[in-house]
Structure 1
């Protein structure tokens, strides 16, 4: 496969471009939870378990800067801010659905692998 070159960057595979946007543990989960509709920061914090507030806000800011999500500020007191996927973000969230299905189908195997890797169980 030939690469595509942009100023300062060459992509040899489309997955490299995706990882430039989606790199990090939390961004795919944020997109997954925004796919059904707009959410407030607090809702996302409850849905994306184990993410710190600082990391969630950082990722939301990056996703907004990259045009994946839209930040909606209702200009109210107390503040009311929601995040929703843009059309660009929805197109990315759609391709995450098969990964979610794969994870659901292989949850037991993945859990075993992770436990073995972390040293919490012995290999069979």
Structure 2
């Protein structure tokens, strides 16, 4: 059975994030049921940090800002992803929905840029 490209981790892959962040910043977050939250920050199509674990343990040698956000947002991956990307949603609708629009992704490999 072939998986639909919009399911699973595809929306958080570097290829999709590079296309979505032209002229802006984004955080690709995948809530992996097997290994926990995973993500990365992409600014203007360029991956700045990858294999992050928002809401979980800190990476080795964290910056003071990473220590603070790691403490403040422990077990709150979406909130930490927003803080890491510098996003400040006006309300919870961006997370809880409903979505403003849905985008169908073409069936290509987005794991690479």
Scaled by the length of structure 2, the TM-score of the pair is 0.26
Higher relative contact order (CA 8 A, sep 6+): 2
Q: Which has the higher helix share?
A: 1
> Of Structure 1 and Structure 2, which has the larger fraction of its residues in strand?
2
Q: Say which one has the larger Rg.
A: 1
